[in-house]
Structure 1
Amino acid sequence: MPYADTKDDVRLYFEEVGSGTPILFVHEFAADYASWEPQMRYFSRSHRCITYSARGYIPSHIPDSADAYSYQHFRDDAVAVLDHLKIPAAHLVGLSMGAYSALQAGIQMPKRALSLTLAGVGSGFEKERLQGFRDQCMAHAEEFEKGDPDVVAKVSGMAPGRIPFLIKDPRGFKEFYDALAKHDVQGSAHTQRGFQRGRPPLYEFEDDISRLTLPTLIIVGDEDDSCVEASLYLKKRIATSGLAMFPKTGHVLNLEEPALFNETLERFLVQAEAGRWGARDPRSVRP
């Protein structure tokens, strides 16, 4: 099995397929490397596609300490996969937790990113909801550690932002839910405490975000209540960003609407690679 090693000796399982300009797919909390299969199959026709399981997600290594699950670890892990494959820069495509990590990589190491795709990003963004979000993360971690069968799926799989997927595509949702039920409970608990609860909200990086010049695509479902405001926030502050909102869609964008997601991402990549996805013309901004 192919693995990339991180600076703190965590082994990350990855898969790659295709050739051409590289795309690195970075998964959400309730997923793993396999959740990008609809994108790996589609984009490998024209690109070199890489997907990996984050630390704490089998078959990657599961560190014992919660201290090994900070947002900085997840950010650096994405770059560690690129380093292992000797890829100088790639299009970074992330969903939720993966979008946050892609954004952080773009802020801290912009030369490693050809572009950023930030889908379903920003849960816990609103200041008045932040403490409630963090308390919920701690409660979820404690629930995971009770060890009940399928606990991660029962707690995270039925979150409000995932219900549109269940209603729209019960068969696809069952596949998603069954995969989630196999997650390692300790890795999930550590991720909730370290990454989800510990990561700073987006507005704490406002100056850094406003300085971004990478081509950036923001995607959000109109029924993903936790991420709509954060997506609008990023659109207003990243001059080189575009925003796509999927109708009647929740949080699991790439699986709930795979064809629309692929079409939207492909149009963006074509323009980004052609140098046609620039900053907004100041003349188009309302005074």
Structure 2
Amino acid sequence: MSIKCVNTLLIQCFCFCLCSCNFHPEGTETQKYDFQPIHQTVQAWVDSGYYNGAGLMIARNNQVILDTCYGNYTPEAQVYIASAGKWLAAAAIAAVVDEGKLSWDDQVTKWLPEFTDVKGTATLRQLFSHTAGYPDYQPQGVKKDDYQTLEESVAHIVDLPADTVPGAEFHYGGLAMQVAGRMAELATGKDWETLFQEKIAQPLGMKNTHFTPVDSVDGHSPMLGGGARSTLHDYTAFLDMIFNNGVFRGKRILSEKAITEMQADQLRGAKIITPDYVRKVRAEQHKGVYGLGEWREEVDSLDNAVLISSPSWAGAYPWIDKTTDTYGFFITHVNVEKANQAGFSSFYSSPVLPILVRDVYKEAALPDSVERGVVPVENGTIYYQEAGSGEPLIFIHGHSFDHSEWEPQFPVFAKHFRTIVYDCRGYGRSSMPDENQPFRHVDDLITLMDSLHLEKAHLVGLSMGGFIVTDMLALHQDRILTATAASGDIFPVPGPSEPWTAEGIARRRDEIAALKANGILQQKWDWLAGLMSKGGSNLENIRRPVWDMIYRWSQWQPLHIEPRLVLGNDAVAILKSEKIDVPVMVLTGEVDYKGPRKLNECIPSAIQKIVPDAGHVSNLENPKAFNQLVMDFINENKSN
């Protein structure tokens, strides 16, 4: 695979700055992976002050491929991991079940007869799957559960009223697990910390992982559900064991049956009340979202969990991705004040990491025929991929997307053209903009073409990409062979002729403040909802790939005062004053079509085509029809 020298240099410099605590065991294949998108994301979190530092360790096929630290963290940093400890606690309980001293179907009353109400009928598996009907936490005005012993904790739970009957509802919380831990103590005759050390920590060499003493800081309790503290390498050893079906370095720690039970659907029909975690981070919902101490984020067609995790409010995030034979651990602790000021959610942000890792693998698996590179532009860089030969064809992605939007098009058109996809500045692997450094997307595109020695090219853009195609028509039609604007042509916003005013800047600051107050991820969820609000028969099938692009998007644009990046309204006068000789096609999804677009008015020679059974993201909804329309248009004008 050919990688431009400038790309290699930038990546080496970037990684040298970050990876001060890296090690790679002999035999790993780290050289083929470019972790720049992951480094860029995590470093942005640290630079924003959300975290003082972080550690990240990733293994694939039982080989460590990344072991790095950010900010002030070192591999030895011992951090309170909040709900990430639930997975550890479930494993300790499973070890007691393996011994036959407990059963997942034991009722609370078997071990704690003082539970005389409906709470006593809850089973051990319900206690550890948030379906026991217990209150999530101690009520307001009552001492929080930061007790140093489970005996004392349970004494303050026994008289609390049940929220519902066991098995009826899924409520994510922590109190029920305290009762489960106390059952294990009574079954073994050992306190929880001793039990955990003997069953899990010591066999795995987790010398710096403990549940006690329980910290009094908010969010670091109760003991089992939120009190654990660990290190990067300690927790990764635990993931190693789970990934290998209970075996660690040749020694069995948990039975295969225990691992299967932990990863199985334990909701068993319980209604999901709170939180709607899986739908929010994966844009999909299934009924069995939780096992024992772990989330079942993704399942296969047979309901087997293929992406499992134990996220925490503090940002710590362990996961196992069976689709890529990967496990990883992100250890950190959120700066609550700064995160709240920015509307940043560590609980919902860390789960983007498995998606970024999959992207790293995908790029590493590109065939040698695909060239990758980074082109310098003024005050930034542009990432691109290209393949094929013949007349140049450039695809330009939409807002909140990246070059991967064009996966249904890239290999198809590369058979006939020198096909190029790239990330616009502020998206994907390209650099982030600066509020104080004006630029235009059209200028970056010209620089990309010049760097690749392209005198002219066919252009295809969707949504924001269509706006950029329009700007090229207005300013550089001499560099265009054909132009296709899909689902976007004239962006009705002020252009460069209308600079930001003091009043406009103040309004924009207020909008940004409101967005942060509402939580910045809410903007992404709302954006996805808008894109998914109408479309063709394939709309739901593109929800996940669309969300994955939005999820990993930096969100720079809505959180900043953007320079005038496109011509916007300025394009109208320019296009009407120029004689556009370039063949132009306006593509609109059938569901979106409401008559001729503004570009048809500005360029009377432009042809309008409809992508059947599609909405806004027509290239993904109906790629076959989209590709055929573009191919026919280019070939018709190519022959002319």
TM-score under structure 1 length normalisation: 0.78
Greater CA radius of gyration, 1 or 2? 2
The match for 1:178 is 548
Q: In structure 2, what is the equivalent of residue 194 of structure 1? A: 563
**Closer, same or farther: CA 21–144 of 1 in aligned 2, 3 Å:** farther
Deviation at 1:48, TM superposition (A): 0.7
Contact in 2 for aligned 1:102/1:116 (Cα 8 Å): yes
**Runs of at least 5 residues in structure 1 that lack an aligned partner in the other structure:** 128-133, 276-287
Equivalenced residue count is: 258
User: Is residue 256 of structure 1 aligned with residue 621 of structure 2?
Assistant: yes
- Aligned position for 2:469: 102
Match of 1:4 among 340, 350, 375: 375
SS of residue paired to 1:194: coil
- Residue 609 of structure 2 is matched in structure 1 by 244
Corresponding residue to 1:78 among 430, 433, 445: 445
The residue type paired with residue 245 of structure 1 is I
Is the partner of 2:484 in helix, strand or coil?
strand
Aligned CA distance change for structure 1 residues 14 and 142 (closer, same or farther; 3 Å): farther
Root-mean-square deviation over aligned CA pairs: 3.1
CA drift at 1:237: 3.8
2:586 maps to which of 218, 234, 241:
218
Distance 1:75 1:26, change over 3 A: same
Correspondence list, 1:147-158, <5 A: 148=519, 150-158=521-529
Query: What is the alpha-carbon distance in structure 2 between the residues aligned to residue 170 and residue 140 of structure 1?
Result: 31
Closer, same or farther in 2 for the Cα pair 1:75/1:198, shift >3 Å? closer
Quickly say closer, same or farther: Cα 1:174–1:235, change in 2 above 3 A: same
Q: Which has the higher contact order (CA 8 A, sep 6+)?
A: 1
Matched-pair identity in %: 22
Quick check: 1:114 aligned with 2:481? yes
Change (3 A) 1:141 1:76: farther
Measure the CA separation in 1 of the matches of 2:567 and 2:559: 13
Letter in 2 for 1:243: Q
Evaluate the alpha carbon distance shift between residue 250 and residue 17 of structure 1 in structure 2; reply closer, same or farther with a 3 A threshold: same
For 2:631 and 2:399, locate their aligned partners in 1 and report how far apart those are by CA, in whole Å: 24
Read off the aligned partner of 2:632 and give its amino acid letter. R
Give 1:93's aligned residue. Answer: 460
Distance in 2 (alpha carbons) for counterparts of 1:142 and 1:251: 29
Q: Distance in 1 between matches of 2:470 and 2:567?
A: 16
8 Å CA contact 1:152, 1:181 repeated in 2: no
Q: Distance in 2 between matches of 1:253 and 1:146?
A: 33
Residue in structure 2 matching 1:59, options 429, 446, 450: 429
What amino acid is the match of 1:207? K
Q: Give the structure 1 partner of residue 268 of structure 2.
A: none
8 Å Cα contact 2:537/2:613 also seen in 1:
no
Q: Which of the two has greater helix per residue?
A: 1
Judge conservation of contact 1:15–1:51 (CA < 8 Å) in 2: yes
- Which residue is 1:207 aligned to? 576
Counterparts of 2:488 and 2:548, CA distance in 1: 24
SS of residue in 1 equivalent to 2:427: coil
SS of the aligned residue for 1:158 comes to helix
- 1:196, distance to aligned residue in structure 2 (A): 7.4
Question: 1:200 and 1:238, CA in 2 relative to 1: closer, same or farther beyond 3 A?
Answer: closer
Q: Cα–Cα, structure 1 residues 82 and 188, in superposed 2: closer, same or farther, change >3 Å?
A: farther
Query: Deviations for 1:89-108, whole angstroms, at most 9, x for unmatched residues?
Result: 10011111111111111221
What displacement does 1:164 show?
Answer: 2.7
Give the match for residue 27 of structure 1.
397
C-alpha separation between the residues in 1 aligned to 2:615 and 2:511?
21
Question: CA, structure 1 residues 87+58, in 2 after alignment: closer, same or farther (shift >3 Å)?
Answer: same
* Preserved contact between residue 145 and residue 186 of structure 1 (Cα < 8 Å): no
Aligned-partner Cα distance in 1 for 2:518–2:597: 38
Per-residue displacement from partner, 1:221-250 (whole Å, max 9, x unpaired)?
Answer: 23336xx45x43322442432101234432
Instruction: Give the direction of change, closer, same or farther, for the CA distance of 1:24–1:198 in structure 2 (3 Å limit).
Output: closer
Q: TM-score, normalised by structure 2?
A: 0.37
1:187 deviation in Å? 4.4
- 1:58·1:183 contact (CA, 8 Å) conserved in 2? yes
Q: Distance in 2 between matches of 1:24 and 1:81?
A: 10
